Amino acid sequence: MSSTSWLSTRQDNGTALPRDRDTHVLLAMIETDTSRSTKYVQYMCILPLITSAIVASLRGDSDAVVIRFEHESTARVTGQVLISLGPHPITLLRETVAYQQSIRPPAPKPNPPPFPDHSPELYRGKLTYCTWNSLQPPTPTTATSIIKALESFPLMPNNLLIDDGWQTVESRHLVTYGANTHWLDGFPDLGAVIRHVKAMGVQRVGVWHTILGYWDGFSRSSDAFKHVPFLTLRKRWGAVYPILHPWQAHGFFEAWYRQLAEWGVDFVKCDDMAEIEDMDSCVDDAGKAFPLFAVRGAYVQAIRRNVERFFSGRIIWYSSFTNAVPVVADE
């Protein structure tokens, strides 16, 4: 095997497959010596299959290629990989993807959701103002800055997305449900801010959070979480992330989203969806290993159910590691 190519978010120097970013298609050129001192060239396409029950991807580990399978279901499932050979790389890629799509079973008709999904209300013909890019130094990250920005706009946006900076955190760990004092800037709570901006003409207000509460998880010492069981997520290079045990995930998001809804929040943006997949190990408070796929499944399911219940399905999913979409051109 003389060379490899892959589809990922960005191309690194050399031929090593990225360890920290998912790759969904791998092309390898294979040269075989013949008896006539010539080389016979073929290409191999490796395509992990993605289903509603399991998500597969490729990553590098030193000189090896690792196929990762992330469960989307609590049922026992088997990961599958499609491998094909051909003389022309782009044709091979195109035909392999087409074959993969042809063998996928038809999706079952979904049961009607218990709550209507109104998420299209956030996109169709609507204007959204997100605070992330505008509330950066030297502009203070405060509710007052948001109001001043809205007052300066010639057209009032339909949606307001309050991004990172509003939550009460300590050392990048979530402490409680409400907004921090600095961000409130004199307002008594998040509800008062939302009532103010809606009186200005904003129709819907959303707030940002990560899948694990905040970037590095939850605070073990906070009054809100110190009496519940935790798990500890780890990366090989030493980073540690304390999170609520998956048994607590539904109750946490139920309580949090209920409070947000009472304050007038209409939708949420769930960020850092790739964080759990980027972890290398997980243990409970007794030091016993806990499956990462179970963590991901519990948190995603808890968010989905409570978004349906309290926000009528209005959610924006976002991942820190954005996977590239393959674009196939003619040879």
CB 305 within 8 A of CB 252: no
Same-domain status, 144 and 281: yes
- Considering the domain boundaries, does residue 255 fall inside one? yes
- Give the model's confidence band at 331: pLDDT under 50 very low, under 70 low, under 90 confident, else very high: very low
What pairs with residue 267 in β-bridges? 206
Same-domain status, 140 and 72: no
Please state the pTM of the whole predicted model. Answer: 0.69
Residue 301: CB atoms within 10 A of its CB come to: 16
> Residue 270: helix, strand or coil by DSSP?
strand
Residue 217: CB atoms within 10 A of its CB come to: 23
CB 291 within 8 A of CB 244: no
Same-domain status, 99 and 124: no
Q: What is the mean pLDDT of residues 272-280?
A: 83
Q: What are phi and psi of 168, to 5 degrees?
A: -90, 110
pLDDT digits (tens, 9 = 90+) for 217-263: 999 999 999 899 999 999 988 889 999 999 999 999 999 999 999 99
- Considering the domain boundaries, does residue 23 fall inside one? yes
Same-domain status, 96 and 136: no
Domain-ending residue, one of 73, 103, 133: 103
Residue 199 contacts by C-beta under 8 Å, 6 or more apart in sequence? Answer: none
Same-domain status, 187 and 252: yes
Same-domain status, 92 and 206: no
- Give the model's confidence band at 202: pLDDT under 50 very low, under 70 low, under 90 confident, else very high: very high
Q: Structural domain of residue 52, as residue ranges? A: 3-103
Is residue 111 predicted with pLDDT exceeding 50?
Answer: yes
Q: What is the mean pLDDT of residues 183-188?
A: 97
Comparing 83 with 331, which gets the higher pLDDT?
A: 83
Same-domain status, 76 and 139: no
Which pLDDT score, from 0 to 100, does residue 1 have? 35
What angle in degrees, to the nearest 10, is found between the helix axes of 292-311 and 246-262? 20
Comparing 161 with 5, which gets the higher pLDDT?
A: 161
- Considering the domain boundaries, does residue 114 fall inside one? no
Same-domain status, 96 and 153: no
pLDDT digits (tens, 9 = 90+) for 27-61: 888 888 777 767 788 898 988 887 767 777 787 77
Same-domain status, 232 and 293: yes
Is residue 159 exposed (0-12), middle (13-18) or buried (19+ Cβ within 10 Å)?
Answer: buried
- Give exposure, 189-201, as e/b (b: 16+ Cβ within 10 Å): ebbebbeebeeee
Domain count of the chain?
Answer: 2
Distances (CA, A) of 19 to 67, 155, 210, 211, 270: 11, 45, 22, 22, 24
- Considering the domain boundaries, does residue 108 fall inside one? no
Q: What is the mean pLDDT of residues 261-269?
A: 97
- Give the model's confidence band at 321: pLDDT under 50 very low, under 70 low, under 90 confident, else very high: very low
Same-domain status, 180 and 82: no
**Any idea what the CATH number is for the domain that residue 226 is in?**
3.20.20.70
Same-domain status, 212 and 129: yes
- Considering the domain boundaries, does residue 129 fall inside one? yes
- Give the model's confidence band at 121: pLDDT under 50 very low, under 70 low, under 90 confident, else very high: confident
Q: What is the mean pLDDT of residues 116-138?
A: 84
Same-domain status, 86 and 152: no
**Average pLDDT score, the chain:** 84
Q: Structure tokens of 241?
A: 């992330």
CA–CA dist 264, 206 (Å, integer): 9
pLDDT digits (tens, 9 = 90+) for 7-25: 444 444 555 677 666 677 8
Which pLDDT score, from 0 to 100, does residue 9 have? 40
Q: What is the mean pLDDT of residues 267-290?
A: 90
- Considering the domain boundaries, does residue 330 fall inside one? no
- Considering the domain boundaries, does residue 52 fall inside one? yes
> Residue 122: helix, strand or coil by DSSP?
helix
